[in-house]
Amino acid sequence: MGVSGSGKSTVAGILAGALKWDLQEGDDLHPDSNVEKMASGQPLTDADRWPWLETIADWIRAHTEAGEPGIVTCSALKRSYRDVLERGSEGRVVFVHLAGTRERISGRLNARMNHFMPSGLLDTQLSTLESIGSDEEAIVVDVGPPPAEIAATIIAELERTRGI
């Protein structure tokens, strides 16, 4: 989880390759109307996000029920969104928040090519973001280091706390 440009796709790809876990790109589950809205520079509303979050929750539940580990990229900006994502899989979902400063992330978004998400939406993403609560199952990592280092930190933390 994390705002646009925090590195979700990049880090998730490394994690999935290293752990050999299924990977689902949350962006690929958006209805076209959501993608068109973001591409035109408008932030999504809660109403736009609920059906998308339910689709991601279905993916997580299916993996939980099958006993298959997996990784999903999803901004998961609000606590209420995260509650939907883990519904039916409570206690089995670990949120990994890729956290960083506006300056660092906006620099990366401005340099990124060929992506529908305009960098101008970063401020709305940051103002919507609700930090992980002390009662949430989560790992918070800084996005400063190179992606491979971030992925190694996450795996080490999962090994330490989850015995993967």
Quick check: 42 and 124 in contact, CB under 8 A? no
Nearer to ligand GCO, 64 or 125 (CB): 125
Kindly tell me which residue out of 1, 11, 16, 44 binds ligand GCO, with binding defined by CB under 6 A.
44
Quick check: 129 and 4 in contact, CB under 8 A? no
114 sits in the region (left: phi over 0; alpha: psi -120 to 50; else beta) called left
- DSSP class of 43: P
CB of 48 to ligand GCO, least distance (A): 8
Beta bridge partners of 73: 25
When CB distances are held under 5 to 8 angstroms depending on the partner's kind, the choice from ligand GCO, ligand ATP, none that residue 44 binds is ligand GCO
CB of 15 to ligand ATP, least distance (A): 12
Site residues (CB under 6 A) for ligand GCO? 4, 27, 38, 44, 49, 75, 77, 117, 125
